[in-house]
Each structure stands twice: as C-alpha cells, then as structure tokens.
Structure 1
C-alpha cells in the first residue's frame, strides 16, 4: 500500500525537479489552492437541502462574510478559522 501511494507523489517531484517551469505556469499554479477551496466551500455555504439558500437564516453564509474579511486583513489561517467558528456559534445562538 505504501508503494501505491508513494509512487504518484514521488514521480512528479522527481520529474519536475529537473525541469525549469516558467513564471507564468508558477503564477497559474498559485491559483489552484484558492480554486479548490472555493469549489469545496461554495456548496456548503450556499446550498441547503439541494436548493440555493441565500436567505438571512443561512448562518453559514452569514458567518462566512466576517471570516473572509478576517482572512483578507490578517492573512492568518488561525485568525480566520477562529473568526468563522465564533461567528457560527454566535449566529446559531442568536437565531
């Protein structure tokens, strides 16, 4: 099992360590984590019971707003996560 999981990780590293990658490709690859995170978060924040939920009763969507702001200003994942957790707790208590 170790070999099966190790080979797909080791081969690209071994091959790409010998290749010079252009700055444009590296810049483009920098957007991959943001795109993946957005693709994972958007359905959780905006869809409930298979339907788009943009109502003020959607506490996850409301909590995401200050969470995004904290992430933009602090650039610190710990501050962002704590802000999101506190907002979800507060909004669930208030609503």
Structure 2
C-alpha cells in the first residue's frame, strides 16, 4: 500500500508542476535569447546521459579498443556526420556495438 501512495504522490507532484508551467505559458513571454538557449537543452541532456555510459565502466574511465560502447558511439557519430540519416546512424551504431562486443568479449 505504501508503494501505491508513493507512486500516486509522485504522479500528483509531477502533474502539478507541469500543469502550472503549461497554464502560465500563455501569459509568459520569453526573450529571444532564452528561447535560443532552450534549443540546446535536449542535446545537453542527451550528452549528459550518454557520455558516462559510453566512457565509464564500474566508475573508472575506460578508453580502450575493447570498449564496444565507445567503438559503437564513434561509429554512430561518424555515420551521422557523413549521412545525417538517423535510422542509418542507429542501425550501423548498434551493429558496430554488437559486432565489436561479439568479437572482443571473450578477451575482456
């Protein structure tokens, strides 16, 4: 029962915070500088999530050719820079990751 109350409380808190912001958004006018800065929020948040997952292993920096996540990320960035095709970037990045992991997991 405590879990249900905790989840309900978190849902109410989350809804309330977002409802207040959406309700006030029609009356609030942001400057062009703030709107321009807000465009960078999604890439920054994604980078903050992905980079530690790619570069850290058990809390230590893992820069090695045996790091399949790093090799897959390098492949994905390269494909993205060359093609600007999201689906191709995801597919080739994942294929590189799984292929590299399959090749070198017995060694690591």
Give how far 1:84 is off. 2.1
- Greater C-alpha Rg: 2
Equivalent residue, structure 2, for 1:5: 14
Q: Aligned residue pairs: how many?
A: 94
The aligned counterpart of 1:23 is 32
1:22 positional shift: 1.3
Which of 76, 80, 89 does residue 67 from structure 1 map onto?
76
> Deviation digits for residues 48-69 of structure 1, max 9, x if unmatched?
1221111111110011012123
Residue 60 of structure 2: aligned partner: 51
**TM-score when normalising by structure 1:** 0.83
Moved more, 78-87 or 57-66: 78-87
**Among residues 83, 92, 97, which one is paired with 1:88 in the alignment?**
97
The gaps in structure 1 that reach 5 residues or longer are: none
Report the Cα offset of residue 70 of structure 1.
Answer: 2.9
Q: CA deviation at 1:86?
A: 1.1
Is 1:40 aligned to residue 41 of structure 2?
no
Change (3 A) 1:75 1:14: farther
Q: CA RMSD in A?
A: 1.7
Query: Structure 1 93/27 Cα, relative in aligned 2: closer, same or farther at 3 Å?
Result: same
The answer to whether the 8 A contact 2:79-2:92 is kept is: yes
Shift of 1:11: 0.6
